[in-house]
C-alpha cells in the first residue's frame, strides 16, 4: 500500500509540474486583470495543437515548446487585448466578462473541433528510460518536464523579485489604483502579464501532450479546472503560491486515482476548485470588500 | 422528405420547443429576475429526467441490459411530480453553499464546475444511471388513450407540453409581479440596498433557486417521456449556455421575450440545421452550431444586452404605492414658494431644537 502511495506521489509531482506552468500564467493574468478568463483553457489547446502540427512538419523535440509558447502569446493577445478588453470598455461587470470568456472558449474550442474532424491526435515523443528515485518511478522525459516547470518558476520569480518590471507587476496585482497613482504605466504592465501568461499557457499545452501523447479540441478545457484551482488556492497574483498549490492538487488527484480510478481523480480535481472558490477569502466576502474593478 | 416524416419532425420540434421554453423560464426566473448566474441549470433538468425515467422503467432485471437504481412503476403524473421534486431537492442541496453572497464570477465558476463534476460522476459511476450509455426504453405515457407509435400521440403529447407551459407561464408571471418578485428584482439591482430595506437576500436567492430547479426538473421529465432515452451527452454544460443565449437574445426578465429567444436559438439555429442536407463528417454541424451559439452570445452582450424585448419597467402605482410622478408645472410653480417656506421653517425648527 505504502509503495502505491509513494508512486502516486511521484505521478503527482509530474502532474503538478504541468499544472503549475499553467497555474503560474493564470495567476499572473487573473491577479493583474481581475478577469476570470475561462478562455485560458483554449490557449492550452492551441499550444498543444501547434506542437502537434510542428511535429508533422518535422520539427520535433523541445523546439515544439518554443513554438507552443509563441502560439500561446499570440492567442492570448488576441483574446485578451482583442476581445476581453473591447468588452471591458463597455463597463461590463465581472459576470458579463466571465460569460464573454466562456463564449470565446466555446467558439475556439468548437472551431478547432470542426476543423480537425472531432479526432484524438497522437503525438510521439521519446519518453526515455525509467529512473527510480526514493521508490518513485520517473521517465527521463518526466524529469525534463519537472525541469521545465522549475525553470519557468525560477525565471518568473527572478523577474518578479529582481527587476523594475517585476516590481511593477506585483504592485498592480496588489492595488491597481495606487500603482497608477504612483506613476506605474498600468496598461503596459498588464500587457506584460498577458504576454507572460500566454507564453506559459502555450508551454503548458505542449508539456501536457509531451506527457499524455494525445491532443483533442477539448484537451485544454478538460485540464482548465485544475489550473484554476491551483491559481486561486495559491492566491491570484502569487507565483510561489500557484506552485505550492499545484503540488498539493497534483498529489491529491493522483492519490484519489490510485484509490478510486481516473474518473474520480477528475472529480476530485474539480471538487478542490469548488471548495477553493467557496473558501477563498477574496471569493466569499461579507459584501463591501469585493474587489470588482477590472484592469485591462 | 415524405409527408409522414415531416409530420413526425414537426411534432418533435413543437415538443422540444415547449420543453426548451419551459427550461428557459426556469432559468430566466433565476438569472433574469434574481441575477443568479446558474451555469449548472441543465443538471437540474437531468435530475428530473433521470428521476422520471427510473420511476417508470420498473425494477432492474438481468435482461433489461442497463443498470440503474430504485426502479419502480408509478403513474405518469406522479413521475412528473417526482421529477419536479428531484430538481427542487438537488437545487436546495447545491443552493445551500452556492447561494452565499460572493463575487458573481466566482459563483458562476462554481456552478459551471459543479455541472462538469456531476456529469463526470454519472459517467464514472455506471451503477446509478448506466453511465455514458444512459437509460433507454422509457415507455411513452398515456398509451391507453392514444396509440403511442402514431404521430397522433406525438401531437397529443405536444398539446400536453404546451398546456403545462401555459400553467407555468401563468405561475412565473404571477410570481414576478408579486411583492416577492419585486424583492427579487430589488436585490438583483442593488443587494446592499435591498438588504438594508429588510429583504433577506440569501433566503430570496435560495427560494428562487429551488423554484427554478423544480421547473427544470419538470422540463426534464417531459423531455425524457418524449425521447424515451437519456444519457450523459444530453446534458453537457454547453446546453445551459444555449438556454442562456436564448434568454439574452429574447429578453432578460421578460417571459414573452424568452419565447422569441428560444424560438430563434433553439429552433432556428439548433433544430433547423438538422433538416438541411448533411454535409462534412458526422458531428461537423453540431460543432458549428456551438460556434454560432458562442458568436451569438458575444453579439448579444455587445449589441443589445437587454434582449430584443427588454424587461418591462414596473411602475409603483400598479402596486398601490404613492405615485412618484412630478406635479404638473403650473401647479408646481404655484405651490413651490409655500412648500419651500414650509420646508425652511421645519429646518429652522429642527436647528433650533438641536441648539437648545
Rg of chain A over all Cα atoms, to the nearest angstrom: 19
Can you say whether the dihedral through the CA atoms of A98, A104, A107, A113 is positive or negative?
negative
The Cα of B10 is separated from the nearest Cα of chain A by a number of Å equal to 28
* Cβ within 8 Å of residue A78, ≥6 positions away: none
Torsion-angle region of residue B251: left (phi > 0), alpha (psi -120 to 50) or beta? left
B103/A118 touch (CB, cutoff 8 Å), yes or no: no
Q: What is the structure's pLDDT at B252?
A: 85
Helix (H) or strand (E) holding A97: helix A94-116
d(CA B152, CA B154): 5
Say if residue A289's pLDDT is above 50: no
A261/B123 touch (CB, cutoff 8 Å), yes or no: no
The CA distances from residue A41 to A95, A214, A224, in Å, are 18, 16, 5
Q: Which residue has the higher pLDDT, B319 or A254?
A: A254
Torsion-angle region of residue B199: left (phi > 0), alpha (psi -120 to 50) or beta? beta
The Cα of B64 is separated from the nearest Cα of chain A by a number of Å equal to 25
Say if residue A283's pLDDT is above 70: no
Q: Which residue of B has its CA nearest to A217?
A: B287
- Beta carbons of A245 and A23 less than 8 angstroms apart: yes
Q: SS3 sequence, A197-216?
A: HHHHHHHHHHHHHHHHCEEC
All three cell numbers of A69, joined, read 509558447
Query: Residue A158 in 3-state DSSP?
Result: helix
The CA distances from residue B221 to B81, B139, B216, B217, B218, in Å, are 9, 12, 9, 6, 5
* Cβ within 8 Å of residue B282, ≥6 positions away: none
A90 phi and psi angles, rounded to 5 deg: -85, 15
Read off the pLDDT of residues B262-278 as tens digits, 9 standing for 90 and up. Answer: 998 888 887 777 766 66
d(CA B32, CA B310): 11
Q: What is the structure's pLDDT at A70?
A: 92
Nearest CA among A197, A195, A204 for reference residue A145: A204
d(CA A28, CA A156): 10
Per-window interface: A 194-223 vs B, CB < 8 A: none
- Beta carbons of B154 and B12 less than 8 angstroms apart: yes
What confidence category does residue A199 fall into, taking pLDDT thresholds of 50, 70 and 90?
Answer: very high
B331 phi and psi angles, rounded to 5 deg: -60, -40
What confidence category does residue A280 fall into, taking pLDDT thresholds of 50, 70 and 90?
Answer: low
Q: What is the structure's pLDDT at B297?
A: 86
Strands A130-133 and A121-122: unpaired
Q: What is the structure's pLDDT at A1?
A: 53
Nearest CA among B217, B232, B28 for reference residue B120: B232
What confidence category does residue A158 fall into, taking pLDDT thresholds of 50, 70 and 90?
Answer: very high
* Cβ within 8 Å of residue B347, ≥6 positions away: none
- Beta carbons of A101 and A37 less than 8 angstroms apart: yes
Q: What is the rounded average pLDDT for all residues in chain A?
A: 83
Q: What is the structure's pLDDT at B352?
A: 37
Helix (H) or strand (E) holding A74: helix A63-77
All three cell numbers of A210, joined, read 509531451
Partners of A121 in the beta sheet?
Answer: A215
- List CB contacts (< 8 A) between A280 and chain B: 106
Per-window interface: A 69-98 vs B, CB < 8 A: 83, 87, 90, 92-98
A284/B284 touch (CB, cutoff 8 Å), yes or no: no
CB-CB neighbours of B272 under 10 Å: 10
Nearest CA among B216, B227, B212, B211 for reference residue B53: B227
A106/B241 touch (CB, cutoff 8 Å), yes or no: yes
User: Which residues of chain B register pLDDT less than 50?
Assistant: 1, 323-324, 326-327, 331-356
- Is A2-279 assigned to CATH 1.10.3470? yes
B109/A98 touch (CB, cutoff 8 Å), yes or no: yes
All three cell numbers of B61, joined, read 432485471
CB-CB neighbours of B283 under 10 Å: 12
Query: Residue A113 in 3-state DSSP?
Result: helix
Q: Which residue has the higher pLDDT, A32 or B327?
A: A32
- List CB contacts (< 8 A) between B194 and chain A: none
- List CB contacts (< 8 A) between B192 and chain A: 287-288
Read off the pLDDT of residues A94-126 as tens digits, 9 standing for 90 and up. Answer: 788 888 898 999 899 888 888 877 777 877 777
Helix (H) or strand (E) holding A122: strand A121-122
Q: SS3 sequence, chain B?
A: CCHHHHHHHHHHHHHHHHHHHHHHHHHHHHHHHCCCCCCCHHHHHHHHHHHHHHHHHCCCCCCCCCCECCCCCCCHHHHHHHHHHHHHHHHHHHHHHHCCCCCHHHHHHHHHHHHHHHHHHHHHCHHHHCCCCCECCCCCCCCCCCCCCCHHHHHHHHHHHHHHHHHHHHHHHHHHHCHHHHHHHHHHHCHHHHHHCCCCHHHHHHHHHHHHHHHHHHHHHHHHHHHCCECHHHHCHHHHHHHHHHHHHHCCCCHHHHHHHHHHHHHHHHHHHHCCCCCCCCCHHHHHHHHHHHHHHHHHHHHCCCCCCCCCCCCHHHHCCCCCCCCCHHHHHHHHHHHHHHHHHHHHHHHHHHHC
d(CA A53, CA A70): 14
DSSP class of A123: -
Say if residue A130's pLDDT is above 60: yes
Amino acid at each position: 500500500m505504502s509503495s502505491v502511495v509513494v508512486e502516486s506521489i511521484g505521478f503527482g509531482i509530474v502532474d503538478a509540474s504541468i499544472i503549475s506552468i499553467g497555474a503560474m500564467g493564470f495567476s499572473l493574468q487573473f491577479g493583474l486583470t481581475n478577469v476570470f478568463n475561462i478562455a485560458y483553457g483554449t490557449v492550452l489547446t492551441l499550444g498543444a495543437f501547434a506542437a502537434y502540427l510542428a511535429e508533422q512538419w518535422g520539427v520535433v523535440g523541445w523546439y515544439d515548446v518554443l513554438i507552443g509558447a509563441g502560439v500561446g502569446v499570440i492567442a492570448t493577445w488576441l483574446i485578451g487585448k482583442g476581445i476581453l478588453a473591447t468588452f471591458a470598455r463597455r463597463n461590463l461587470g465581472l459576470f458579463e466578462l466571465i460569460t464573454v470568456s466562456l463564449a470565446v472558449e466555446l467558439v475556439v474550442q468548437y472551431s478547432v473541433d470542426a476543423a480537425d474532424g472531432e479526432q484524438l491526435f497522437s503525438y510521439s515523443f521519446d519518453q526515455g528510460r525509467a529512473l527510480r528515485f526514493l521508490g518513485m518511478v520517473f521517465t527521463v522525459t518526466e524529469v525534463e518536464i519537472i525541469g521545465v516547470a522549475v525553470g519557468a518558476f525560477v525565471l518568473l520569480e527572478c523577474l518578479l523579485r529582481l527587476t523594475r518590471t517585476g516590481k511593477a507587476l506585483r504592485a498592480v496585482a496588489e492595488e491597481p489604483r495606487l500603482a497608477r497613482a504612483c506613476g506605474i504605466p498600468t496598461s503596459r504592465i498588464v500587457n506584460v502579464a498577458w504576454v507572460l501568461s500566454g507564453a506559459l499557457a502555450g508551454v503548458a499545452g505542449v508539456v501536457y501532450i509531451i506527457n499524455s501523447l494525445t491532443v483533442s479540441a477539448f484537451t485544454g478545457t478538460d485540464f482548465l479546472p485544475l489550473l484554476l484551482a491551483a491559481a486561486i488556492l495559491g492566491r491570484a497574483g502569487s507565483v510561489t503560491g500557484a506552485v505550492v498549490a499545484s503540488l498539493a492538487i497534483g498529489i491529491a488527484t493522483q492519490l484519489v486515482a490510485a484509490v478510486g480510478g481516473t474518473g474520480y481523480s477528475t472529480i476530485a480535481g474539480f471538487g478542490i476548485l469548488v471548495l477553493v472558490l467557496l473558501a477563498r477569502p477574496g471569493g466569499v466576502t461579507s459584501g463591501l470588500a469585493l474587489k470588482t474593478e477590472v484592469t485591462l | 422528405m415524405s409527408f409522414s416524416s415531416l409530420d413526425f419532425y414537426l411534432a418533435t420540434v413543437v415538443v422540444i420547443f415547449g420543453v426548451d421554453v419551459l427550461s428557459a423560464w426556469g432559468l430566466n426566473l433565476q438569472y433574469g429576475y434574481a441575477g443568479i448566474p446558474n451555469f449548472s441549470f441543465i443538471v437540474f433538468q437531468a435530475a428530473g429526467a433521470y428521476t422520471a425515467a427510473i420511476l417508470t422503467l420498473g425494477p432492474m432485471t438481468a435482461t433489461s441490459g442497463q443498470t440503474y437504481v430504485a426502479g419502480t412503476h408509478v403513474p405518469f403524473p406522479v413521475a412528473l411530480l417526482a421529477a419536479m421534486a428531484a430538481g427542487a431537492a438537488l437545487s436546495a442541496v447545491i443552493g445551500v453553499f452556492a447561494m452565499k453572497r460572493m463575487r458573481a464570477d466566482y459563483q458562476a465558476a462554481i456552478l459551471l464546475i459543479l455541472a462538469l463534476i456531476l456529469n463526470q460522476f454519472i459517467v464514472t459511476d455506471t451503477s446509478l444511471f448506466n453511465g455514458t450509455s444512459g437509460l433507454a426504453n422509457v415507455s411513452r405515457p398515456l398509451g391507453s388513450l392514444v396509440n403511442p407509435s402514431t404521430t397522433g400521440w406525438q401531437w397529443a403529447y405536444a398539446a400536453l407540453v404546451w398546456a403545462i407551459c401555459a400553467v407555468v407561464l401563468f405561475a412565473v408571471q404571477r410570481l414576478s409581479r408579486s411583492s416577492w418578485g419585486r424583492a427579487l428584482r430589488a436585490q438583483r439591482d442593488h443587494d446592499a440596498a435591498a438588504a438594508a430595506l429588510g429583504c433577506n437576500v440569501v433566503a430570496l436567492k435560495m427560494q428562487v433557486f429551488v423554484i427554478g430547479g423544480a421547473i427544470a426538473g419538470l422540463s426534464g421529465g417531459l423531455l425524457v417521456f418524449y425521447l424515451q432515452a437519456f444519457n450523459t451527452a444530453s446534458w453537457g454544460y454547453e446546453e445551459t449556455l444555449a438556454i442562456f443565449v436564448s434568454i439574452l437574445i429574447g429578453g432578460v426578465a421578460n417571459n414573452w421575450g424568452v419565447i422569441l429567444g428560444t424560438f430563434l436559438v433553439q429552433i432556428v439555429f439548433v433544430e433547423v440545421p438538422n433538416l438541411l442536407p448533411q454535409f462534412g463528417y458526422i458531428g461537423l454541424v453540431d460543432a458549428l452550431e456551438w460556434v454560432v451559439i458562442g458568436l451569438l452570445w458575444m453579439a448579444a452582450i455587445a449589441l443589445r444586452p437587454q434582449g430584443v424585448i427588454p424587461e418591462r419597467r414596473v411602475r409603483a402605482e400598479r402596486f398601490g404605492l404613492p405615485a412618484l410622478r412630478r406635479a404638473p408645472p403650473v401647479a408646481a410653480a404655484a405651490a413651490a414658494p409655500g412648500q419651500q417656506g414650509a420646508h425652511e421653517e421645519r429646518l429652522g425648527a429642527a436647528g433650533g431644537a438641536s441648539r437648545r
